[in-house]
Structure 1
Amino acid sequence: MELIISLVLTTALLLGSPGPAPLALAGVGASFGFRRGVGFLAGILTGLLVVIILVAAGLGTLFTAYPSLKLLCQLTAGGYLLFVAYKIATAQGGVTSQADQAPVFREGFVLNLINPKAYAAFLAIFANNMLQTQSPLLSAALTGAVCFLVAVVVDTLWMAAGAKLRPLFAKPQQAKWLRILFACALAGSVVIALVD
């Protein structure tokens, strides 16, 4: 039981800290509301599930063997996340005029699939907090399942928190400055991830 509690807390802290996906979820919740952001949230979670499977399957070993591949993935991810930050910052109007432009499943999926923070978090989790069973495959599957359930809760809370800010986005001028703030926070998280 102690290992499960440790795994849940570690996962919640790593995934819940401000980074590309949580900040994007908060931004989508604030700009479009929770209901309109559900597709984006589903994409984020599906992308994260793929990351968990890749890390459990040994992606860390591949990155260790080929550091240039890891750097290429990080630079590609950083570029895409900066593009997402640009889209958030340059959106026009208040929430009522944004209704038809809510991000969709595909955008959330791609964002988390190439999110360097997700890979780093799960490499650390699988290296230090793997649940132990008789079978290495079962250990990886159980660890991944617990991590994914924590991610569902944490990511949903980030988007719900953003949705609570939605009334602040009602006025176009106010919305502009809040979007710029979210975009700068997202860009800053990309820079920090690339420097680490």
Structure 2
Amino acid sequence: MDVAELSPLVVFALIATVTPGGATTLATASGAHFGFRRSVPLMAGIAAGLASMAAAAAAGLGGVLLAVPWLQVVMKLAGSLYLLWLAVGTARAGAPGSPGAAARPVGFLGGVWMLWQNPKGWTMTLGAAASFAALAAGPAQLAVLMGATFAVAASLSLSLWCLAGLLLARLLRTDRQWGAVNLLLAGLLVASIVLIWI
């Protein structure tokens, strides 16, 4: 398999991971509040969650999850509650170091959970697995290929969003500015909840 054969999958994974959503919003907020280094566990968790989801979808698990309607509803409810909890925490956070600010960023497991409960993510990775199945000799090879591609793409994309948050933090000077940005980021997390149900 050469680079030309892989390029459509790589482009798809980069576009899918760089577009705004709950994960990118959380990476931006974490970068703004905690800096890049302290946000690495969150970004690694999101990347690992997406990579394992893509691998599982390629291996066939995604199809099973999407074929069970009640499980989809449970995943949507759990995911919506988790994102709502994150949105409330983001909205209530003050400037870094203020009494209302979170003491530490969301960690690795929180990032993994954020991805695994998202039925929309399962649909996307299942569609990718079906679209790019011809790149691999079988489900196991496709699972490795998909997992590795999405892990790298998510790591790059989330790093960009985290750095954008870090740059944003350098522009914010007052508590009022931080409050406005926190509300905006919380609103984007709530919007990602709406997208789960559409």
TM-score (norm 1): 0.88
Alpha-carbon distance in 2 for matches of 1:79, 1:155: 23
Q: What CA deviation, in whole Å up to 9, does each residue of 1:48-103 have, x standing for no partner?
A: 233223222312321343122122212211221111111101113x1233473332
Alpha-carbon distance in 2 for matches of 1:40, 1:136: 29
Q: Does 1:132 align with 2:138?
A: no
- Residue 119 of structure 1: how far off its partner (Å): 1.9
Select which of 109, 118, 123 maps to 1:120.
123
Indicate the RMSD between aligned Cα atoms, in angstroms: 2.0
Alpha-carbon distance in 2 for matches of 1:53, 1:156: 22
Contact 1:42 1:108 in 2 (8 A): yes
AA at the equivalent of 2:65: F
Helix, strand or coil: the match of 1:101?
coil
TM-score (norm 2): 0.87
Contact 2:84 2:189 in 1 (8 A): yes
Q: What CA deviation, in whole Å up to 9, does each residue of 1:121-159 have, x standing for no partner?
A: 211211112352333321332232122211111111111
Structure 1 stretches of 4+ with a deviation exceeding 4 A read none
Q: Which residue of 1 aligns with 2:96?
A: 95
In the TM superposition, what are the counterparts of 1:37-116 in structure 2 within 5 Å?
Answer: 37-92=39-94, 94-97=95-98, 98=101, 100-116=103-119
**Percentage of pairs with the same residue:** 31
Cα distance change, pair 45–147 in 1 and its aligned pair in 2 (3 A): closer
Structure 2 gap segments, 5+ residues each: none
Structure 1 gap segments, 5+ residues each: none
Cα distance change, pair 131–26 in 1 and its aligned pair in 2 (3 A): farther
